[in-house]
């Protein structure tokens, strides 16, 4: 600084001062340039060294495994080496290779490195060897190779169950605490081996949480329910107790469920995210049933609906809404909570778990023909109910099997002349249309026994009044809706005799070829 003032006093010219400052700037610029060049040289040297190291490690791996370079197979390992070369040593890579080749053949070892290159950072002695022994105990040596081919990440398994002692403790826990058999334990080992790395203290805490929340169950009942959940959803038991408790609170407070029903019927819900999964679905369902108590009733009857994908639920609601629009018009004042979708959600919740394309749509298209509805659009001039109105009357008809229940029952009504269908199952214009409740009546437990018993008595009844009543035929409402007592009283039948007939006839109607013969020919069934 003092030199600057001396120069200024001797040479007061501002030009000289500026020249001096420029000299200082030039010196700084020169110093900066030299430093940058040195840094570039160091970086270039480092990159050269890095490339050389990665190539060396790759060559070592390929040579040990007798493999050729293939970009599609080895690029993941190469990229991992570039990212981790500062932490990996040649000795570490060599130790992991030695471990792999000791226990696996070259092809399996190559597959593990190609798919799970992170294994190179594992300590062969303290991590990989215990893990391998643990997995061998689970799968057996012959199946472990198959398991590794299916999931090369198995050797990266993390947890506390690396040694056989912990494995045995978990087995004892499952057998003693949940009363699972050795076969059931073996199934869990095969399907979800990670469970056997979980500390027993963690498993005990989770089971204790479920037992304390299942207030209305005895200890034995709770144990049976928890054991069933363990078999179906073992992944829930490795979650933190806090996470499980948080989700239980949400399902109880917001969805109206109880812990008993969650554990017994819908344990998988405890593995779903509240923010990303449960809350959006609850919002969608609330649009169709705004009343919280009514929605809770629906969810209690079938909590599995919360496990469906939201897109899947929305697609089904949209389909039912289109039926409403076709039947009532797009300008209808129909609200979401008064829609067909709302009625199904409230009265026949399990229907929403059925496949839309493979189950619901074929069923509705068949019913539309049986009800005499040529298309989803029913003209207001038509004397028949619209498709939406028919489904609203008894939405549970959609929960029955098309081939196992609905079609055979429709065939019964057609052959007994309660309705008249053409060869394509379409209702004839002059025929009456049956309600969904009529089509849902049990064929083997109600319709066939009553029909056959009635006709077996038709020409053998001594009571003239009863004979005249029987000559009028078997009314549909007596056939379908009446109790057995009312059915017998209507025609003065002996209730005990009918009860014996029904008990003996049902197995034959249900499990023999006589049912098919009767449906096709109308010949009586031998009892």
Biggest CA pair distance of the chain: 150
Query: How high is the pLDDT of residue 333?
Result: 57
pLDDT (tens digit per residue) in 280-301: 999 999 999 999 999 999 999 9
Nearest Cα residue to 316 out of 293, 290, 278, 348: 348
Nearest Cα residue to 388 out of 456, 320, 482: 320
pLDDT (tens digit per residue) in 445-480: 899 889 888 888 776 655 555 566 666 788 999 999
Query: How high is the pLDDT of residue 21?
Result: 41
Instruction: Report residue 421: phi and psi, to 5°.
Output: -120, 155
Q: State yes or no: pLDDT of 325 exceeds 70.
A: yes
The answer, as to whether pTM is greater than 0.85, is: no
How far is it, in rounded angstroms, from Cα 206 to Cα 361? 42
Q: State yes or no: pLDDT of 520 exceeds 90.
A: no
In a domain, 489, yes or no: yes
Query: How high is the pLDDT of residue 74?
Result: 82
DSSP state of 428: P
pLDDT (tens digit per residue) in 386-403: 899 999 999 999 999 998
Nearest Cα residue to 302 out of 348, 355, 360, 251: 348
How far is it, in rounded angstroms, from Cα 412 to Cα 520? 9
- Residue 24 in tokens: 């200082």
3-state secondary structure of 427: strand
In a domain, 474, yes or no: yes
Number of domains in the chain: 2
What are the angstrom distances between the C-alpha of 444 and each of 135, 215, 401, 440? 52, 40, 14, 12
Angle between helices 90-103 and 106-115 (to 10 degrees): 130
Q: State yes or no: pLDDT of 326 exceeds 50.
A: yes
Angle between helices 182-191 and 129-139 (to 10 degrees): 130
In a domain, 8, yes or no: yes
Nearest Cα residue to 505 out of 461, 457, 446, 459: 446
Residue 377: pLDDT band by 50, 70, 90 thresholds?
very low
- Residue 396 · residue 367 · CB < 8 Å: no
Q: State yes or no: pLDDT of 220 exceeds 50.
A: yes
Query: How high is the pLDDT of residue 17?
Result: 43
In a domain, 25, yes or no: yes
Q: State yes or no: pLDDT of 226 exceeds 60.
A: yes
In a domain, 28, yes or no: yes
The DSSP-derived string for 80-105 is HHHHHTTT--HHHHHHHHHHHHHHS-
Phi-psi region of 140 (alpha: psi -120 to 50; beta: other; left: phi over 0): left
How far is it, in rounded angstroms, from Cα 273 to Cα 419? 51
Q: Which residues are within 8 A (CB) of 339 and not within 5 positions of it... i.e. 6 or more apart? A: 288, 320, 321, 324
Radius of gyration of the chain (CA): 38
How far is it, in rounded angstroms, from Cα 23 to Cα 477? 113
pLDDT (tens digit per residue) in 145-170: 777 777 777 777 654 334 445 567 78
What are the angstrom distances between the C-alpha of 148 and each of 174, 187, 200, 286? 26, 18, 26, 45
In a domain, 45, yes or no: no
Q: Could you tell me the residue range of the domain that residue 512 belongs to? A: 443-521
Query: How high is the pLDDT of residue 236?
Result: 94
Mean pLDDT of 114-130: 81
In a domain, 458, yes or no: yes
Q: Which residues are within 8 A (CB) of 497 and not within 5 positions of it... i.e. 6 or more apart? A: none
Burial of residue 496 (number of CB atoms within 10 Å: 0-12, 13-18, 19+): exposed
pLDDT (tens digit per residue) in 423-438: 999 999 888 889 999 9
Q: Which residues are within 8 A (CB) of 447 and not within 5 positions of it... i.e. 6 or more apart? A: 409, 412, 441, 479, 480
In a domain, 508, yes or no: yes
How far is it, in rounded angstroms, from Cα 340 to Cα 386? 12
Phi-psi region of 367 (alpha: psi -120 to 50; beta: other; left: phi over 0): alpha
- Residue 498 in tokens: 């009918």
């Amino acid at each position: 600084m003092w030199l600057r003032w001396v120069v200024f006093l001797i040479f007061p010219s501002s030009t000289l001062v500026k020249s001096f400052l420029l000299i200082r700037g030039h010196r700084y610029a020169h110093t900066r340039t030299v430093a940058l060049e040195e840094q570039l040289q160091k970086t270039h040297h480092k990159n050269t060294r890095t490339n050389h190291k990665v190539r060396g490690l790759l060559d070592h791996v390929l040579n040990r495994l007798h493999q050729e370079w293939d970009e599609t197979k080895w690029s993941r390992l190469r990229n991992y080496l570039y990212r981790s070369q500062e932490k990996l040593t040649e000795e570490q890579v060599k130790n992991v290779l030695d471990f792999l080749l000791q226990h696996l053949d070259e092809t399996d070892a190559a597959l593990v490195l190609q798919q799970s290159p992170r294994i190179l950072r594992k300590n062969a002695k303290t991590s990989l060897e215990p893990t391998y022994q643990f997995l061998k105990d689970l799968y057996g040596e012959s199946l472990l190779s198959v398991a590794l081919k299916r999931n090369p990440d198995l050797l990266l398994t993390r947890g506390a169950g690396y040694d056989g002692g912990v494995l045995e403790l978990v087995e004892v826990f499952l057998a003693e605490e949940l009363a699972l058999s050795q076969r059931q334990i073996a199934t869990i080992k095969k399907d979800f081996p990670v469970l056997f790395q979980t500390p027993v203290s963690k498993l005990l805490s989770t089971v204790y949480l479920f037992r304390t929340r299942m207030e209305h169950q005895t200890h034995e009942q709770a144990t049976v329910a928890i054991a069933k959940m363990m078999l179906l959803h073992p992944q829930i038991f490795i979650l933190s107790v806090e996470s499980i408790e948080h989700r239980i609170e949400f399902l109880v407070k917001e969805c109206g469920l109880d812990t008993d029903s969650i554990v017994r019927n819908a344990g998988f819900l405890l593995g779903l995210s509240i923010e990303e999964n449960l809350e959006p679905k609850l919002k969608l369902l609330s649009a169709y049933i705004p009343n919280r108590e009514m929605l809770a009733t629906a969810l209690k009857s079938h909590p599995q609906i919360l496990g469906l994908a939201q897109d899947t639920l929305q697609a089904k609601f949209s389909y039912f809404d289109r039926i409403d629009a076709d039947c009532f018009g797009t300008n209808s004042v129909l609200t979401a909570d008064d829609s067909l979708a709302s009625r199904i959600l409230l009265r026949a919740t399990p229907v929403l778990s059925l496949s839309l394309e493979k189950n619901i749509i074929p069923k509705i298209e068949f019913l539309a023909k049986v009800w005499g509805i040529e298309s989803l659009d029913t003209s207001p001039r038509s004397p028949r109910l619209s498709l939406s109105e028919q489904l609203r009357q008894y939405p549970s008809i959609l929960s029955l099997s098309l081939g196992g229940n609905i079609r055979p029952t429709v065939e019964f009504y057609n052959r007994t002349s309660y309705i008249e269908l053409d060869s394509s199952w379409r209702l004839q214009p002059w025929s009456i249309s049956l309600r969904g409740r009529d089509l849902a009546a049990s064929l083997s437990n109600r319709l066939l026994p009553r029909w056959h018993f009635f006709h077996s008595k038709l020409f053998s009844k001594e009571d003239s009044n009863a004979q005249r009543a029987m000559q009028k035929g078997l009314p549909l409402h007596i056939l379908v809706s009446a109790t057995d007592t009312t059915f017998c009283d209507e025609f003065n039948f002996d209730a005990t005799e009918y009860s014996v007939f029904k008990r003996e006839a049902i197995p034959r109607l249900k499990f023999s070829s006589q049912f098919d013969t009767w449906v096709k020919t109308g010949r009586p069934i031998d009892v």
